[in-house]
Every structure is written in C-alpha cells, then in structure tokens.
Amino acid sequence: MWKIETKNPHTSGEVRGSVFSHIKQGMLKKSITKESQPLPRALIQLHPGRSSDSRINPPGAPSRLPCGSQWLGGRDSPRLQRRVRSRISRDSLFSSPLTVVQGRKAPEFLIYYSIEISYVKDNFPLRENPAIRLEPLGFRDIHDKSQDPAQWTTNENSMKNRALYFVFILIAARFYCGISISYGETQSFTDTTGCTVELPDRPLRVVSLAPSITEIVFSLGKGALLAGVTRYSDYPEEAKKLPRVGSYIRPELETIVNLKPDLCLAVKDGNPKKTIQRLKAFGIPVYTVSPEGIDTILRSIKEIGGLLNAKDEAQNITEKMSTQLAFIDRAVAQAPHKPLIFFQIGISPIVSVGKNTFLNEMIQRAGGENAVTSPRPYPRFSKEQVLALAPEIIIITSMARNDIFEVVKKEWESWPSLPAVKTKRIHVVDSDILDRPTPRVVDGLAMLTALIHPTLFKETPK
C-alpha cells in the first residue's frame, strides 16, 4: 500500500510520494500527452474507512477492506458521489487527454480508495487538515469480477500499461485535491453561544466535553458515536471504558485532536473558551450547549438529538421528562408550606448553594425554600450562621463518602435547637443525580420532592 500526498493542491498540484520518488513530474506529463490512444474510463470509488465500529458498516460492504471501512462511496451516499464526480469533470486539470467517466459509460477501471474523512473545511490547507487521509488501495479492471480486495493489484508489473498506471495515480492526486474542497456535506447550526457551526450531516466521531453531555448522548442511544469523554464521565457504565480527554475544566487539546473528532460537544460554563477556540482552529466543529436549569436541560437534549440524528429519541426523552415534571409540579402546588432548607455541599468549611444555581432551582421546584439567599453561588458558612438560619431540613450531598457525612449528620444532631434536628429531618443524598444536568435530574427532583414533602406522594412518580 502506498500513500499519496500533494504538497499544495490548490496551486502547484505537485505529486509526491513513494511511488513517485524517482519520477519527475515533467516526465510524467510527457508520457501522458504522448499517449494518443484513448484513455480508459474509470470510476473512483470511495471507502471512507475510519470507524472500526462494525455497526456502522452496512451489510454488503466488502468484508476485507482494511480497518473495516464503511461502504459509503457507491450506494450509501449518492450525494457525495455525485459531488465528487462533478468536481472532477469540472476541474480544469483534466485538460490532459484524460477523460473520467461520469457514469454514463461503463467504467473500465475501478480505483479504490480507503479514505478517512471526518470533517473537511473549505479551503483549509491540506497539510494542516487533520481530517483527511487518503490511501489508494489499488485499482482493477472492471471486467475482473473478483470481489476480493486482496486480488486488487498494486503490483506495477502486472499493469497493462505502465503509463496508464501513473495516470491513475495522477488522477488520484487531483482527486485528492478535489475532494478536499468539495466534500462539504454539512449543515449549519447555531448553538447557545450564538456561534454558527458547520457540522457534518452524520457525525461519526463525537467527543463529549462534560460528564452531563456524555450522559445525554448515551440516553439518546448514541453512545457508540462517542470517541472520547472527559474524566468523571462515569454514567452509564459503558462511558467508563471510553478514552479520556482530560477534565471538563481542563480538556486536553492534543488528546482531543488526536481522536480526530468530527464533532465536539461542549458546555458553555466550565469548558475553557480558549480550548474551544483552538479546537475550532483545527477545523473541528464545536457545538456548545448550556444545560444550566431544568428547562435548558430539555433544550440541550433536543439540540444534541438534532445533531446526532436522534430527533425521535430526544423527543421521547424530553416528553417523558416533561410529563414527570408536570406530575411533580402539580403535586408540589398542593403543598401547604414551603420548608426552609439548608443544602450542604461542603463539610469543612460548610459550603451551601446560593441563588442563581442549579441546586437552588431544584430546591424551589421540589417545593422547598433555600435558606441561603446569598447571590454568590457557593457561599461558605460557619456553624453559628447555620444555626441562625434555623433550617427546617438539612440536606447533605454525598459523593460515596457516606461515613464522613454520617459524622456530619451526628454533629448537627448535637444542636437540638435546630428545627431540622427537632423534627429529625437531616438527610444524606447522592449528589450525582442532583447536580448533574442530565435526563436523570428528574429522578433527582422526584427524590428531593419526596424528602421535602414526604406526604405528597401516595405513589412515587414515574
């Protein structure tokens, strides 16, 4: 197998590569023009071989293509094929006596390429475009009925016409240029930050830049598209096996670029803006969502569903969530009293949640009143201040460190003057389903509501 690469496809069209290392371009041109005989017609067929995921390959694709390529060129994507052909025919570089079949006449040769295209930006210099990689697999006589790629010859000696062989490679090189500017099957989306993002119509390699996004993608049934996730993406179980690309606060640029994603899903708050800008500079489209509140979670799920061709799944999930939310809202509306709640997310020092936080919204939606009214998101408290707030319920979030939290609970219980202690309403809850803006948040809300208003539900919401 040999590789071909052009140095600057837009200007010189100089062909380089191991095959050509001993042939000067001028010689090649000469040999083409000298050939007065009509040149054979050829059809170029693409095998965008990228994903090793067998589920993506449709049945009927040649089984022995390297790296389990997707059989996309022939049938799967007629649009792409059409585009490629017209590009070639228009291209002035075929002013040489070479004509390339456009499908009307039966081709005499097939040139097979394994091509890696994740996403290609218009006029983006090839050399810097990490998304394109083209490897000619060989070419064969159309009359050769052998479907076995192993039989496709790459052996120069078996060529009928040596010159022809190079012509094809020349085509390949030109084709390579052509494709780099023509493959533009993209759709425009505008994300929550107001950025217009050009996305491939079928993203195949998605990198999620937050645990919540990973969860949303899995909930949409598109977990197989994920090429990388951030640290702490621990739900569902499958997510733990995916490659890590740093934490969501500090994503590692190099690791992400190395994964060659055709889509990155970012969150507005948390992911550093600079990293996102640099990803975009690498030609990797980044779509930013901002799941900050319950309503925006629903919106984010729909947005991601739209990007990943999972509109129906997104619709299902959000409808189900809306139903559950409506159920909770109705129940909470009947509650006679909104208890004062102190929500403790840090032990030493005592840290709670202020206004304008997701957890504050959760408390209110669950029919409680946040005892903390600070405008700062995560204010610190002394014990004395908490006693002064006189919360009716204390909720402590745990991150699998139950022992410590039980100790903290005991400590609060030594202050019997606290209303929450009198009524024995100190609870320890799992933080993940409460503070992660994912579809599971409805379960968290239900749990929280049940804690705050234990009498409201005759049955747990479904």
Partner 1 sequence: MSDAHLIQGRLVRRIFTVTGLLSLVLALAVVIGLATGPSGIDLGPVWDLLTGNAQADGLQIAIIERIRLPRVLMALFCGAVLSLGGLVFQALLGNPLAEPYILGISGGAATGAIIGILAGLARVPGVSLTAFAGSMATLFLVLYLARGDSRAGRDAMLLSGVMVNAFCSAVIMFLISISDENKLHDIMFWLMGDLSSADMPQVGMVAILVLPCFAIIFLLSHKMNLMLMGREMARSMGVSIRQTTLILLIATSFMVSAMVCQSGLMGFVGLVVPHILRQIFGSDHRVLVPATIVGGGAFMVICDLLARWVPREGEIPVGVITAIVGAPLFILLLKRRA
| Among 456, 404, 446, 405, residue whose Cα is nearest residue 426 | 405
Q: Pairing between strand 393-398 and 369-370? A: unpaired
Complex with partner 1: residue 55 or 274, whichever CB lies closer: 274
Complex with partner 1: residue 318 or 397, whichever CB lies closer: 397
Radius of gyration of the chain (CA): 30
Task: Note the helical H segments in 76-140.
Answer: 78-90
∠417-423-424 over CA atoms, to 5°? 95
User: Which residues fall within 8 angstroms of residue 230, CB to CB, at 6 or more apart?
Assistant: 208, 209, 210, 211, 214, 244, 245, 246, 247, 248, 251
Q: Site for partner 1 (CB under 8 A): which residue of 22, 104, 274, 424?
A: 274
Contact present, 191 and 289 (Cβ < 8 Å): yes
Complex with partner 1: residue 116 or 392, whichever CB lies closer: 116
47 class by beta-carbon count within 10 Å (0-12 exposed, 13-18 middle, 19+ buried): buried
Stretch near partner 1 under the rule CB under 8 A, chosen from 190-198, 211-219, 239-247, 320-328: 239-247
Q: Site for partner 1 (CB under 8 A): which residue of 152, 175, 218, 282?
A: 282
Binding string to partner 1 for residues 119 to 138, with x set by CB under 8 A, is what?
A: -------xxxxx-xx-----
Binding status of residue 254 toward partner 1 by CB under 8 A: yes
Complex with partner 1: residue 252 or 413, whichever CB lies closer: 252
Stretch near partner 1 under the rule CB under 8 A, chosen from 176-184, 202-210, 271-279, 316-324: 271-279
Minimum distance of partner 1 from residue 268's CB (angstroms):
11
Minimum distance of partner 1 from residue 302's CB (angstroms):
26
Binding status of residue 10 toward partner 1 by CB under 8 A: no
Binding footprint of partner 1, residue count (CB under 8 A): 38
Strands (DSSP E) found in 315-386:
340-346, 350-352, 369-370, 380-381
Complex with partner 1: residue 16 or 299, whichever CB lies closer: 16
Complex with partner 1: residue 88 or 120, whichever CB lies closer: 120
Stretch near partner 1 under the rule CB under 8 A, chosen from 64-72, 201-209, 211-219, 268-276: 268-276
| Among 50, 73, 71, 51, residue whose Cα is nearest residue 62 | 71
Contact present, 134 and 111 (Cβ < 8 Å): no
Distance CA(200)–CA(437), nearest Å, equals 26
Minimum distance of partner 1 from residue 114's CB (angstroms):
15
Stretch near partner 1 under the rule CB under 8 A, chosen from 214-222, 257-265, 330-338, 436-444: 257-265
Give CB contacts under 8 A, 24+ apart, made by 381-387. 381/349, 381/350, 381/351, 381/352, 382/349, 382/350, 383/350, 383/415, 386/342, 386/350, 387/415, 387/417, 387/418
Minimum distance of partner 1 from residue 23's CB (angstroms):
14
Distance CA(4)–CA(170), nearest Å, equals 10
Q: Site for partner 1 (CB under 8 A): which residue of 186, 193, 255, 309?
A: 255
Binding status of residue 231 toward partner 1 by CB under 8 A: yes
Contact present, 437 and 212 (Cβ < 8 Å): yes
Binding status of residue 252 toward partner 1 by CB under 8 A: yes
Binding status of residue 280 toward partner 1 by CB under 8 A: no
Complex with partner 1: residue 164 or 206, whichever CB lies closer: 206
| Among 347, 397, 391, residue whose Cα is nearest residue 370 | 391
Cα–Cα distances in angstroms (integers) from residue 63 to residues 54, 67, 77, in the given order: 10, 10, 19
Complex with partner 1: residue 437 or 461, whichever CB lies closer: 437
Complex with partner 1: residue 68 or 270, whichever CB lies closer: 270
Contact present, 396 and 427 (Cβ < 8 Å): yes
Complex with partner 1: residue 335 or 351, whichever CB lies closer: 351
Cα–Cα distances in angstroms (integers) from residue 222 to residues 36, 54, 192, in the given order: 54, 14, 21
Stretch near partner 1 under the rule CB under 8 A, chosen from 42-50, 255-263, 364-372, 434-442: 255-263
Q: Site for partner 1 (CB under 8 A): which residue of 1, 27, 67, 249?
A: 249
Stretch near partner 1 under the rule CB under 8 A, chosen from 69-77, 137-145, 251-259, 419-427: 251-259
Distance CA(351)–CA(358), nearest Å, equals 15
Minimum distance of partner 1 from residue 277's CB (angstroms):
9
3-state secondary structure of 137: strand
Of 340-379, binders to partner 1 (CB under 8 A) are: 376-378
Q: Pairing between strand 4-6 and 350-352? A: unpaired
Binding status of residue 1 toward partner 1 by CB under 8 A: no
Minimum distance of partner 1 from residue 17's CB (angstroms):
7
User: Which residues fall within 8 angstroms of residue 425, CB to CB, at 6 or more apart?
Assistant: 339, 392, 393, 394
CA 376 to chain centre: 33
Binding status of residue 30 toward partner 1 by CB under 8 A: no
Interface residue list for partner 1 (CB under 8 A): 3, 5, 7, 16-18, 126-130, 132-133, 231, 244, 246-247, 249-250, 252-255, 257-258, 260, 269-270, 272, 274-275, 278, 281-282, 376-378, 380
